[in-house]
Chain A
Amino acid sequence: MAEVVRVAIRSDADIVMVRQQARVLAKELGFSASDLTLIATALSELARNIVDYAGQGEIILSLINQGGHRGLVIIARDNGPGITDIERAMQDGYSTGKGLGMGLPGTRRLMDEFEISSGMGQGTTVKVTKWAR
């Protein structure tokens, strides 16, 4: 079984594809139904950000094992305009687009670990992890 999957994100339809791929990987780890939904929701948020703000990018899903602790890592990256003010982007209700401004802070709450790196003109990379219990 593959432990890493890359999915190109170019349109809303790819969001479905990446969710299905994640479901297959996550099932291996024995995530509960509600965890699977949380993961799928986080993926949706990340993929939508790519489509809405960068136009296209990719999501890389990987299984990791850290000292017997198993988890799913999601890396969402794009070469879009990037985020100028990460701190603000992480605040609830802040959006430069037409969204609810819940995407990034919401994703952080859905997952166990959250890292973001971005800068104007440098694209954006978000790395999140959900640990299997």
Chain B
Amino acid sequence: MTEEMKQNTEKTLMEELGFTEVEIARRRAFLELGDDDIQELLSINKLAKEYADPVIEAFYKHLLSFEETRVFFQDPGLLERVKRAQKAYFSRLTQGDYDNTYIEDRLNIGAVHERIGLPVKAYLGMYNFYLRNVANHLYEAYKDMPGKALRVYLSLLKVVFLDIGLAIDTYINRREQLIGKQREAMRELPTPVLQVRDRLLIIPVVGILDSYRARQLTEQLLDSISATRAKAVLMDITGVPIVDSKVANHLLQTVSAARLMGATVILTGLSPQIAQALVAIGVDLSHVRTTVDLQSGLEEAERLLGYRLVPVGERTGTNQAHV
């Protein structure tokens, strides 16, 4: 598993999860993992090496006695490699230096377990099994000094909980990445630019307007303006739930860009609540043409383009007069 781990190591895992020096220090502080604990753990490093083999053997016997964990060990060679890696880790637990490198290692190992699909309950169950075993060994070794056994055990608990937290974070991170990817896929939903009449476009904006979509929207709009030589554009934001200052900024930029292309943008579908919020924030949309709804926007655009909407009867009448 060590070889596989190296191959799968993502150098950016620490950054991806936001692990800075400050964050690591905070985690340690919250667990009250201090220098005393490190001294306690270092003091049993020799003992830990002595009980390493029996603990590892018991550990894997337990793992292999359950179908759901046994399935991971079809290959005997793999089992041997994993045992060695595990032994190294248990020994590492009592070697101090719970620094960046240590954290990074733990995160990578957590990621490997997530990738193979080891359930969190198995992860926690095995930590629990390990701690119970070690507790017995400590109890035996320090029969005459029960205080020492307890102190060491409590220090070990802190490091183990630090590690558990890191492992679970890698699991959560993976899920979040997955959700992120799904969101990305949903963002690919196109924002269609529709031609209503000669030189008049409608662009209905639906959903959340983030930077990515706003850029996409601007590009599509400008392309369409150029392709259709549009003079007026109705941008309808009825389907945009919230317009904060950033979204407003995006809209303003799109409007300015369209203006440079010779088209007037009319913003329609601004709800009373959003209008109120924009005023409260202090965003100035006064130099953007806005109308309450799409219908009035359409009327204004037609006026702008010199169209005049005439009822059928009237028009027929005129035609007849000509005939």
A110:B277 contact, CB within 8 angstroms: yes
Interface pair B244/A105, CB less than 8 Å apart: no
**Which 10 pairs between the two chains have the least Cβ-Cβ distance?**
A106-B281, A37-B273, A44-B244, A12-B210, A102-B245, A41-B277, A34-B273, A109-B280, A13-B183, A100-B245
Q: Assess whether B20 is interfacial by the CB under 8 Å rule.
A: yes
Contacting A99 at CB < 8 Å: which of B183, B242, B246, B277?
Answer: B246
Whether B208 lies near A92 (C-beta < 8 A) is no
Complex-state Cα separation, A10 to B15, whole angstroms: 12
Q: Which residues of B contact A (CB under 8 A)?
A: 18, 20, 22-23, 176, 179-180, 183, 208, 210-212, 241-249, 271-274, 276-277, 280-283
CB closest residue in chain A, given B249: A100
Interface of A: prevailing SS: helix
Q: Are the CB atoms of A45 and B245 closer together than 8 Å?
A: yes
The answer to whether B211 and A12 have CB atoms under 8 Å apart is yes
* Nearest neighbor of B179 in chain A, beta-carbon distance: A13
Please tell me if A79 contacts chain B, counting CB pairs below 8 Å. yes
Q: A16–B9 Cα gap in the complex (Å)?
A: 32
Q: Given the complex, which residues of A lie within 8 Å of B208, measured CB to CB?
A: 12, 15-16
Is residue A40 contacting chain B, with contact meaning CB distance below 8 A?
A: yes
> Is residue A77 within 8 Å, beta carbon to beta carbon, of the partner chain?
no
Q: Please, which residue of chain A has its CB at the minimum distance from the CB of B172?
A: A8
Contacts of A44 in B (CB 8 A): 242, 244, 246-247
Q: What CA separation (Å) do A16 and B244 show in the bound complex?
A: 12
Given contacts A12-B211, A34-B273, A37-B273, contact A106 B22 (CB under 8 A): no
Complex contact B276–A37 (CB within 8 A): yes
Which of B22, B212, B246 has the most A CB atoms < 10 Å from its CB?
B246
Question: Are A34's CB and B276's CB within 8 A?
Answer: yes
Chain A positions within 8 Å of B271 at CB level: 37
Which residue of chain B is the closest to A107 with respect to CB atoms? B281
Which of A19, A38, A40, A103 has a CB less than 8 Å from the CB of B280? A38
Asked if B18 and A45 sit within 8 Å, CB to CB, the answer is no
Q: Could you tell me the distance in whole angstroms from the C-beta of B275 to the nearest C-beta in chain A?
A: 10
Picked from B20, B272, B280, the residue with its CB within 8 Å of the CB of A106 is: B280
Which chain B residue has the least Cβ–Cβ distance from A56? B18
Complex Cα gap A48–B247 (Å): 11
A79 to B18, CA, bound (A): 10
The reply to whether B273 and A109 contact each other, CB–CB distance below 8 Å, is no
Chain B proximity of A7: nearest CB distance (Å): 12
Least CB separation from B211: chain A residue: A12
- The complex places the Cα of A106 from the Cα of B23 at a distance, in Å, of 31
Contact at A45–B244, with CB atoms within 8 Å? yes
- Contacting residues, chain A, for B276 (C-beta < 8 A): 34, 37-38
| Sample of 15 further A-B pairs with CB below 8 A, known A12-B211, A79-B22 | A12-B210, A13-B183, A34-B273, A36-B273, A37-B271, A41-B242, A41-B243, A41-B280, A79-B20, A92-B282, A102-B283, A103-B245, A106-B281, A107-B281, A109-B280
A and B contact pairs by CB, cutoff 8 A, 7 listed: A15-B208, A44-B244, A48-B246, A79-B22, A102-B283, A105-B282, A109-B281
**Nearest A residue to B277 by beta-carbon distance?**
A41
| B241: A residues at CB distance < 8 A | 19, 40
Which residues of chain B are near A106, meaning CB under 8 Å?
A: 245, 280-283
A13 to B180, CA, bound (A): 8
Smallest CB separation, A115 vs chain B (Å) = 18
Residue A11 lies at the interface, judged by CB distance under 8 Å to chain B: yes
A15: chain B residues within 8 A (beta carbon):
208, 210
Chain B residues contacting A16 (CB-CB under 8 Å) are: 208
Bound Cα distance from A48 to B276, whole angstroms:
20
CA distance in complex: A40, B212 (Å): 21
User: What are the residues of chain A within 8 A of B245 when measuring CB–CB?
Assistant: 45, 99-100, 102-103, 106
- Tell me whether A2 is interfacial, beta carbon within 8 Å: no
Nearest B residue to A102, CB-CB: B245
Residues of B within 8 A of A41 (CB): 242-244, 274, 277, 280-281
Interface centre among A19, A40, A79, A102 (most CB of B within 10 A): A102
